[in-house]
Amino acid sequence: MAKSRVLLLGSGGIGTIAALNLECGGQAEVTAILRSNFQTVTDRGFEILSCDHGHIRNWRPTSVVNAVPVIGSADVAPYNYIVCTTKNIPDIGPSICDIIAPAVTPAQTVIVLIQNGLNIEKLFAERFPENIILSGISRNDAHEIAPGLIEQIDHDNLQIGAFCGPLDSRGAQTNAATHFVEIYSAGGKTNCYHEPNVQRERWRKLVYNAAFNPISALTGLSTGDLQIAGNALDTLLIPAMTEVLTVAHAAGIDLPEETIATTLAKNPPERKIFPSMQKDITKGNFLEHEVIMGEVIREAQSRGIATPILSTLYQLCACVQWRIQATEPATRQN
């Protein structure tokens, strides 16, 4: 059986581990689009320190490129999947839709979004109405700690489900999701499974992300320290989580009331994690506040629900985003 052709956008920590899982199962060949780490990986490959895969040196996917391949040009065959693991920052152009457009084959390429946030699939469904969109929820602590050096310190757990947009064929959408799970899981080094109710899981992750991510980023504290620093747990964290849960329920999402307690239990004070937004703000990278908080707030506003904590965090992050954008590119890390 021919291998699935996969184009990967976003070869940081999450993306590189995704490429490794796809390649090691033997059912996919991955072309990774690299930017700042292109020369390093071209010269000596990735070095990966992984709790799932061990210590791997000089690893490369099937192909590495520094620009999006253009379908129809010489030697570029259509891709079965385009996997997007890059940061989702719609307030800073160019859009991901614009970036991947030259590589999308209508009615053939399945677009897989392994990204944070809410309502991220809608723009893709509008831009590529003939293509199946898959939504991925990743729970994996992997980061690029230096160019071409990947550290994964938590096991890869990935939920994949179809975004049921304007396409009529639910069967084809489900088949695409289960096939992607199959090729991603074939190497046996990950926990990847099909989740039919993937939007519920997006909201579940937001209970964590919309609270811990911005508060940790703005204070510089780990998830553990936030729970013991003054009254932050009772006055910031839990109220922010409660606002997310309230909006989710109003949107018809069936998350149980104990979701907040469960989220905190999975992230005890002794587990001192620095979320992705905190690492981004430290590096001077752009923040994902629009898709993580902004979309929740807009869902709340459309239903007449007040979100004072989330709204304050969102506006503070927007100010930081303005500051980062105003910084000269030469002094800002990409």
Beta strand pairing status for 133-139 and 157-162?
A: antiparallel
**What pLDDT does residue 75 have?**
82
Q: What is the pLDDT along the chain (334 residues), one digit of tens a residue?
A: 799 999 999 999 999 999 999 999 999 999 999 998 999 999 999 999 999 999 999 999 999 999 999 998 778 899 999 999 999 999 998 999 999 999 999 999 999 999 999 999 999 999 999 999 999 999 998 999 999 999 999 899 999 999 975 555 778 899 999 999 999 999 999 999 999 999 999 999 999 999 999 999 999 999 999 999 999 999 999 999 999 999 999 999 999 999 999 999 999 999 899 999 999 999 899 999 999 999 999 999 999 999 999 999 999 999 999 999 998 564 444 4
Flag whether the pTM goes above 0.75.
yes
Beta strand pairing status for 81-84 and 110-114?
A: parallel
**What pLDDT does residue 168 have?**
57
Q: What residue spans define the domains of the chain? A: 4-196, 199-329
**What pLDDT does residue 173 have?**
92
**What pLDDT does residue 332 have?**
44
What sections of 220-307 are H helices per DSSP? 223-226, 232, 238-250, 259-265, 276-283, 289, 295-302
Q: Are 30 and 23 in contact (CB under 8 A)?
A: yes
**What pLDDT does residue 73 have?**
78
CA nearest to 1, candidates 183, 189, 192, 188: 183
**What pLDDT does residue 333 have?**
40
CA distance 257 to 263: 11
Query: Could you say which architecture CATH assigns to the domain 199-329?
Result: Orthogonal Bundle (1.10)
CATH no. of 4-196: 3.40.50.720
Residues with Cβ within 8 Å of 117's Cβ and at least 6 positions away in sequence, in order, are: 88, 202, 206, 209, 288, 290, 291, 292, 295
Take residue 176 and report the two structure tokens written for it.
């695409």
